[in-house]
């Protein structure tokens, strides 16, 4: 079911500062910031040859990453995202296996314009896991 790693997401307290570090200090290609109001985050993507790093900071008062940053004020690894061929089939299989799908269970459109879902970290041995339909 999991086809490949789509991105590794890092929550940061200051997206501009983190973008500058990845761009200037680490010499990486970093996209312009995009505010994803529906998801309560502003993101940039660090483009690498073999995958992407998603840097994200909270957007708005109800950001789903606010509590994470309160526990990790300097930032940290937030989630992994994998590509799947059929996100609803993957969801149904995972729910049948006892995993919790976050939200109302219906995929939302993510930062790449593709349907995404999140699995509760408690059901993936402590790692918040995102699925994106290729």
Using CB under 6 A, list all residues that contact ligand LZKTLF4L: 9, 36, 39, 41, 54, 56, 64-65, 67-68, 78-79, 81, 102, 110-111, 116, 118, 121, 126-128, 130
| 131 counts as binding Co ion under rule CB under 5 A | no
Task: Pick one of Co ion, ligand LZKTLF4L, none as the site partner of residue 39 (Cβ within 5 to 8 A by kind).
Answer: ligand LZKTLF4L
Q: E-assigned strands of the chain? A: 4-11, 29-30, 34-36, 41-47, 52-58, 76-84, 108-109, 115-119, 129-133
Annotated catalytic residue: which of 32, 54, 57, 130?
A: 130
Between CA 51 and CA 31 the distance in angstroms is 14
CA distance 134 to 120: 21
What is the C-alpha separation between 42 and 59, in angstroms, rounded? 6
Measured from the CB of residue 7, what is the shortest distance to Co ion in angstroms?
Answer: 6
Residue 81 or 84: which CB sits closer to Co ion? 81
Q: Is 130 a known active-site residue? A: yes
- Output 130 or 133, the one with its CB closest to ligand LZKTLF4L: 130
What is Dmax (Cα atoms) for the chain? 46
């Amino acid at each position: 079911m999991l086809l490949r790693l789509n991105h590794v997401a890092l929550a940061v307290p200051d997206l501009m500062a983190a973008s500058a570090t990845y761009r200037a200090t680490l010499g990486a290609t970093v996209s312009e910031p995009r505010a994803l109001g529906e998801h309560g985050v502003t993101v940039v993507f660090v483009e690498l040859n073999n995958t992407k790093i998603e840097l994200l900071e909270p957007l708005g008062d109800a950001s789903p990453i606010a509590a994470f940053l309160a526990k990790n004020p300097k930032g940290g690894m937030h989630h992994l995202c994998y590509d799947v061929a059929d996100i609803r089939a993957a969801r149904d299989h995972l729910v049948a296996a006892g995993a919790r799908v976050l939200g109302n269970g219906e995929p939302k459109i993510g930062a790449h314009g593709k349907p995404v879902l999140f699995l509760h970290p408690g059901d993936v041995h402590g790692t918040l896991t995102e699925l994106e339909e290729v």
